[in-house]
Amino acid sequence: MAPSAVIHIPSSCRIFKTHQPFSSPASCTSKAASFTIRASTSLGNYAPSMPAAPLNRSANSWKWKYEGNSVNIHFEKFEKEGSNGPCKNILMVPTISDVSTVEEWRLVAEEIVRKNGGTSLSATIVDWPGLGYSDRPKLDYDADVMERFLVDFISSPDCPIASSVAVNDYVVFGGGHAATIAVRATRNGKLKPKAIAAVAPTWAGPLPIVFGKDSSMETRYGLLRGTLRAPAVGWMMYNVLVSNEKAIKSQYKSHVYADPENVTPSIIESRYELTKRKGARYVPAAFLTGLLDPVNSREEFVELFSGLEGRLPVLVISTSRAPKRSKAEMEALRGAKGVSKFVEVPGALLPQEEYPTVVAEELYRFLIETSEFQP
């Protein structure tokens, strides 16, 4: 019999976090940039409670070519109906998790794009390969692969925000690990956004944040990862750990959402459906065991952000009810070098989905305070 390892996962261990469907299915060096954050006590004419302006919402796919694979990547674009003239582009990247999907950003995208102003705003939300409504091939997923995807997507001439990328006139909003991966790519000069917002940023996967990353644990993680990727037993273990409604509901109520009353049956049902898609277990196997972690320690996490000091504005949005360990990592960024602004909002690990209006307000405020990206 092959060697095996048993890892007991406590209810406090975060395995996933996300939302529900839409009907449609060479490094370079960045120059230091000067910028200012203007103090603002008002959002001007931003009023999410006002009658909704008509929006054009489209769902489409983009082909990612990677190691001989052609992967269909799902993305959705939000634009104000009838908008003409200058347009500022925002790329929103979902929190990496077992049930990650573009859905978590939809209401935030709608709130921001509907803002009445002199310049139109366009928001694009993209699913990660192996997650959401994108294809889920059996790749050797790790943080480098995910960073490579993000860079390839943004750099592609047929990317939906290509016109803004050509002149480095776009911003990136990311949640959880997605935010940290975007920061890493920017620090390394592979991306050149005008600004970055990191919403409830994280760097450690569910097991490493609880059990650590010493060599003995890494061996166990490797065994668990191999088992989850195996043909038959992998599906069995995946169904126990992730792909069952009881487990999803427990995770959402314990730490993904701050208020258990906000966890509805429709949310659980849609997340459960995501876990049944073909190839659904491959990215979770990597995420759960720490292979998608962009850094290996809190010190590296803070240092990553400090590398953006003086280069571009960076907003960090922490949450009032994040799990203790995740909250400590977010708080380590308060006052850190490279962090232009630090705010706290209601929520836990997925505030952009649970409290979209509040998060949209903070993100829009950041945009109007940032002289590099005036909407």
The number of residues making up the chain comes to 375
Q: What is the pLDDT of residues 217-256, one digit of tens each?
A: 999 999 999 999 999 999 999 999 999 999 999 999 999 9
Neighbours of 236 (CB within 10 A): 12
Q: What is the pLDDT of residue 371?
A: 64
Neighbours of 221 (CB within 10 A): 23
Q: What is the pLDDT of residue 48?
A: 45
Report the distance separating Cα 177 and Cα 185, nearest Å: 12
Token pair 């048993």 is at which residue?
A: 6
Element (H, E) at 206: helix 206-211
Q: Name every residue whose Cβ is closer than 8 Å to that of residue 250 and which is 6 or more positions away in sequence.
A: 11
Which residues, given as ranges, of the chain have pLDDT below 70? 1-53, 83-86, 116-119, 371-375
Q: What is the pLDDT of residue 118?
A: 55
Q: What is the pLDDT of residues 165-217, one digit of tens each?
A: 988 889 999 999 999 999 999 999 999 999 999 999 999 999 999 999 999 99
Per DSSP, the three-state class of 338 is: coil
- For residues 168 and 373, is the Cβ–Cβ distance under 8 A? no
Per DSSP, the three-state class of 111 is: helix
Report the distance separating Cα 341 and Cα 322, nearest Å: 19
Report the distance separating Cα 129 and Cα 150, nearest Å: 10
- Provide the residue ranges of all domains of the chain, joining segments of one domain with +: 55-207+291-369, 209-288
Class of domain 55-207+291-369: alpha beta
